[in-house]
Amino acid sequence: MKTITLTAFLVILLGIARRLLSLGRTRRLTAAQRKVMCTYATYHGQLDPESQKRFECVVAAFVNDKEWAGSGIEVVDEMKVMIGSCAAQLLHGFPDVRLKHFKRILVSKGPYRSGRSTQMHMGEVRPAVGLIIISWSDFVQGYAHPRNAFNVGLHEMAHALWFENAIDNGEFHFLDPELLQKWIALAHTEIVQMQGGKHSFLRSYAGTNEAEFFAVAVEYFFEQPKEFEAALPEVYGTLSGLLRQDPAAITLEADDPSGWKVA
């Protein structure tokens, strides 16, 4: 009886060890995946070496730990790496956050109709089922024009981050509560003014509601940070504090329009 018990115990230990080793492997990018990240994720290129390692860990977690599916398109490694890099950009100030509630990412070939809506969608987040949907053609366009403050990847990841902060799953309340309350108050003021017809630096869609204000602000935060800071300094500063990063402190190289470097 003791022999059987010991054997069973050893089998269990071996199984646990294998699972742990497997988890360790999934946290790393392959050489090919890393090449894609280094080629296209220009945000990664302006980080210091230690921050680059943290960035890569987040990308690897998205690539390997999320459930990926395609709609009208085959999801290949390049897509996973680029979408994972988008998430890592937003999560740079939170190295331990992986948006764990959102286990599934659906990549649509292009804009799509959602449910009974007659409107075409470029992406959406469904917290009830832990799903992020992104139109691939619109995602690519967003990064092809990195200064127009229109980036569906950052927009949808911002929605996911907002929900994740409120979901009790061991990875919540990472946004500073005092800054969050300040942000909500500032957003409310801006939304009321926008809905009243006042022109805003942010595009009109930001005035839809609090959720869209946050998502649109994130797009401007990364793609027009200096202009954002100049136009709405308190809003920008609060968002900078919430996300624990400051892209306005970074300048675009005149001879390298594809990337950023520390000023």
In 3D, which of 90, 93, 96 has the Cα closest to residue 159?
90
Residue ranges of the chain whose pLDDT lies below 70: 1-26, 251-263
The amino acid present at 40, given as its one-letter code, is Y
Task: Provide the pLDDT for residue 237.
Answer: 98
Q: What class does CATH assign to 175-263? A: alpha beta
Angle, in degrees to the nearest 10, between helices 210-223 and 233-243: 90
User: Start-end ranges of CATH 1.10.472.150 in the chain?
Assistant: 10-146
Superfamily of the domain at 10-146: Glucose-regulated metallo-peptidase M90, N-terminal domain (1.10.472.150)
The amino acid present at 121, given as its one-letter code, is H
Helix, strand, or coil (residue 199) = coil
Q: Between vectors from CA 259 to CA 263 and to CA 154, what angle results, nearest 5°?
A: 105
The amino acid present at 77, given as its one-letter code, is D
The amino acid present at 148, given as its one-letter code, is N
Task: Provide the pLDDT for residue 13.
Answer: 54
Q: Which residues contact 18 (CB under 8 A, 6 or more apart)?
A: none
User: Start-end ranges of CATH 3.40.390 in the chain?
Assistant: 175-263
Angle, in degrees to the nearest 10, between helices 177-195 and 233-243: 140
Q: 206 with 229: CB under 8 angstroms? A: no
* Residue 254, number of CB atoms within 10 A of its CB: 6
Q: What is the DSSP string of 125-188?
A: EEGGGTEEEEEHHHHHHHHHSTTSS--HHHHHHHHHHHHHHHS-SSS---S-HHHHHHHHHHHH
Task: Provide the pLDDT for residue 251.
Answer: 55
Task: Provide the pLDDT for residue 240.
Answer: 98
Task: Provide the pLDDT for residue 172.
Answer: 87
